Structure formats: structure tokens, C-alpha cells
Structure 1
Amino acid sequence: MKPSLTISLVQTNNIWENIEANLISLSSKINDIEEQTDMIIFPELFSTGFTMEADKVAESMDGKGVLWMKGISKRKNCLVIGSLLIRESGAFFNRLIVAFPDGHLEHYDKRHLFSFAGEDKVFKAGKERLIFDYKGFRICPLICYDLRFPVWARNTDNIDLIIFVANWPNARMLAWDTLLKARAIENLCYVIGVNRVGEDNNKLIYTGHSAVYDAMGGTILSFETGKEAVRSVSIDLKHIIQTRRQFRFLEDRDDFVIK
């Protein structure tokens, strides 16, 4: 029997720069997720919104958001994934956290900082991808603007699932929808995008469009535009194996080194 994963996507609004209020709200939203889910995914900077006021709301790796993720992971016995605004060694990071049920943490610091909004002036960029194994799947989680850079997302390590957590505004939703599907097709893997909804304090409108695509770019799950929701989907490794056996496109990919 080939492995499968049940994954719960949380498309939510944010309360601007209010960590405690966001965590209370999210705790209520995910309360009814079934115990057998393998993974819960939140959007980018889910506890603060996409703020550049890092000095005001950044937390440490022992802060409220991280401890909350660890608690949810242990209680639900599943992975919990999302990005937080983290202060470490005198620098700020847009950091994706992966909390494991045993209390273990992995993290990825956003490499492509959104210079259009001045993110590069506030945060320190990451240098390495995170790829980890979980229940038979090789998983690579990335953050928002990374979606526009196919070389960084390129499947060079037999990745089965790429995850993008985002604060991607409505004005550029065509790019979001198109690029998520493209990353699935070119990498012959599942791709999940989890985006927020609502309006932030910069007057940007977010309409979600969270979605799951299979290795051929087929839509497995798509969310209603502009609506908060928690939805779950199952993905099967058998689909990846069969698709790559039939279409051996990854064998022809270019070799390269990212500096």
C-alpha cells in the first residue's frame, strides 16, 4: 500500500499585528479538524499579517506563536506549518516553521524577500531550502514570493510535495493561480498554496485562492474566493510514482548550482 497524507488548509483573515488575538481565532477555526489529519497549514505570517514593523511584533523561537504551533502539533498529532515573524541573533526573519508531534522543529527562512514592499530592508534572507521526509513523502515548504522563482523551487531532490504559504494580494491573483499550477507541472509533484483573505492595514485586499494541484497540474482542491475556510484533502504517493514512470521528464532536467 502506497503512503497517503491528509492535509488541512486554513484560509483565514488576520488581525493586524495582534499575535494573541490571531492565535485565539485560529484555535477556534481548527478545533473541528479531525484527529486523523496528518498536516495543518496556515498562511504566511499568520499571527501578525504582512507587517514591516518587525521590531514591534517579532518573537523568538520560544515565543507565543512557536509554542502555540508546538502545542497544536502535539494535541492533533500532526505536522503544523506556517510562517512567523522571528527575531534571532539581532536579525529579523520571515520564518516558516514545521512543528512535529514529538516537539521537534524544522524551519526555512524566506529566500526571496519582496522588495516591492520593502521586505528586503527589514528581513534577512535565507540561504538554504528545507526538504524533509514525513510519512513516505519528501516535502519542500516555501514562502509566497518564492513562487515567482522556478529555479529555487526546481525538483532536484525527488520532492513529492511543494508547499507555498502566502500573503498574495488580489491584484496579482492571476499570477498566483498560474504559477502554482506551473510549479506542479514542471516538477511532477503535488503543489499546495495556502493564502489569506481579508484586508490588511496597508489597504491590500486578499481573496485566498488556496488550492492543491496534482503532478499534471490538475486541480484537486480549490477554495471559494474571499471566504475564510478550513478544508482537508488527501494526496497519494501512488499518483506521483505512476506519473513519473509514464512521463520521465525529470530525467532531462538541467544540472545547476544556486549561489
Structure 2
Amino acid sequence: MRIAAVQHDIVWEDRAANFARLAPQVARAAGAGAELVVLSETFSTGFSMTPGIGEPEGGPSAAFLAGCAAEHGIWVGGSCPEVAGDGAGGEAALPYNSFVLAGPDGDVHRYRKLHPFTHGGEHERFRAGEGPVTLTVGGLRITPFVCYDLRFADVFWAAAADTDVYLVTANWPAARREHWTTLLRARAIENQAYVVGCNRVGTAGDGTAHTGDSRIIDPMGEVLAAAAGTETVVIADVDAAEVAATRDRLRFLGDRRG
């Protein structure tokens, strides 16, 4: 399967503007043969803590992803703030940071970020998800994570046996770019799986700078495709058979304890 990470800037808290910016970039990726396209974390709003930033499940951001998927006959995913259920009062009114993956036939899958970024106050404005989600797309077993999740190896380990490709969507800051690139490779090497890291570029509404560094890494830790600090599309072909062959040749996963 050919997977693309769209490395893009974000217009702060302006969904319509972001949809207009991203639609041609998704089309560009699809035109290059991508069958699955990943956008950044909070692709439609930026990493905003503004009260009320959440939208209903199936709201405008999810509808944008589903529309792109249907138009181009591909899978399209990214994260957005979504309030589950009726969102009536208390903790239930807080949104999840949801990774939404929409398919060409109307299928929609969700993973909710397990680790809100407490250093940035996300835990006060967003609810935490309950566990990893793995789904099968085109013969690939795919497990998505969101940004800060990347620091927690245990959740990647827990999903490893059933995962060929990890998708990691992010608003990772430039100040810690070496952490981002190092941890992406580490998760690929230690789990013998592909890792697709999609990070934004540009400066957020709170002044945080982002350098992108999106990349696709193979099960041996080799970087198949990478980007620097501009808007671009990173594309590579991934193959479940390569994951199986790597794990058969180097049988490391079975030696894990705990």
C-alpha cells in the first residue's frame, strides 16, 4: 500500500480555511497513488485549548475527511477535537483528541488519544481515551496514535503483535524535534513495524513553532521518506509481508517480558 503524510501548516481555529488549504494537498497525494493519506493532529483547528473548540462526532472535520475519502477513493485520517455523545455537562462536555480515519465506502474508525499532553494543559481541556485501536485496511494492520502518545513505548508494545503500521499524527514543537525523530525510529525498530509520522509546520496561534520532520520508517528503522520544514507530501510504499519477514528473520518480539 502507498501511504502519504501531508505535512501542512494550520490556520488557527479556522476550520473552513483549513479545509480549503488541505483539499488540494489530499488530491495531490491521491494523484501520486496514495491509498491512505494522513493529516496532522488537530488538522482543522490547530492545537487549541479554547473552551468549546470541540465538535460532535461526525462533525465538520470528520465530514471533511469522509468527503475526501469518497472523492478520491482512498482512506484519509487526522485528529480533531470531538465531543462524544450529547456532551451534556461535566467531564462529558470535554472533547477527545480523536484520530478519525475515513474510508472510500463510508467506513469511519476512531482512536482517542490516550495521553493528553499535561505539560501543555491538554489534560484540563481534553478527555483521555481508553486504549489502542487496530484496524485492517488493504491487508495492513494499522494502529494510530496521536503526538504525545509517542513517548509511551508500552502502548506501542501492547499493540505490536497485531500491527504492521503505526500512524502517528502530531503537532510536535520545533524545540523538541530531535525527540520526535528519535522516538519515531525507536518505535519502528523495537516493534519491527512501519511508522508513519505526520507533523505540522508553521507557527501555532499560541506562538509554538513546528518544523515538520514528517517521515515514513520501515521495520528495520530505515527512513524511506522524510521532509524538512515546508509544506509537502511524504510518500512511501509499505508491505505487510516485509513486517512478517523482518520478524521471522529477527525474532525479538518473543523475548519481551511484562
Give the TM bin, normalised by the shorter chain. Answer: over 0.9
Corresponding residue to 2:43 among 46, 51, 56: 46
User: How far did 1:156 drift?
Assistant: 4.0
Corresponding residue to 2:4 among 5, 8, 15: 8
User: How far did 1:203 drift?
Assistant: 1.0
> Aligned runs of 1:58-77 on 2, under 5 Å?
58-77=54-73
SS at match of 2:149: helix
SS at match of 1:81: strand
Residue 31 (1) aligns with residue 34 (2): no
Superposed CA offset, 1:70-127 (max 9, x none) = 1111111111110001122323111100111111111011110100010000111001
> Aligned runs of 1:1-259 on 2, under 5 Å?
5-35=1-31, 36-55=33-52, 57-88=53-84, 89=87, 90-154=93-157, 155-223=159-227, 225-255=228-258
CA distance in 2, matches of 1:101, 1:77: 5
CA distance in 2, matches of 1:247, 1:235: 19
Unaligned stretches of 5+ residues in structure 2: 88-92
Contact 2:96 2:112 in 1 (8 A): yes
Percent of matched pairs sharing the same residue: 35
SS at match of 2:97: strand
Contact 1:85 1:93 in 2 (8 A): yes
Superposed CA offset, 1:13-33 (max 9, x none) = 000000010001101222233
TM (norm. structure 2) is: 0.93
Contact 2:214 2:234 in 1 (8 A): no
Contact 1:19 1:48 in 2 (8 A): yes
Contact 2:26 2:68 in 1 (8 A): no
State the 4+ residue runs in structure 1 displaced beyond 4 angstroms.
none
RMSD after superposition: 1.2
CA distance in 1, matches of 2:58, 2:222: 39
TM (norm. structure 1) is: 0.93
Question: 164-173 or 60-69, which moves further after superposition?
Answer: 60-69
User: How far did 1:44 drift?
Assistant: 0.2
Contact 1:54 1:92 in 2 (8 A): no
Contact 1:212 1:222 in 2 (8 A): yes
Aligned residues between the structures: 249
Unaligned stretches of 5+ residues in structure 1: none
Contact 1:54 1:85 in 2 (8 A): no
Superposed CA offset, 1:171-222 (max 9, x none) = 0011001100000010010011000000011111100000011111111111
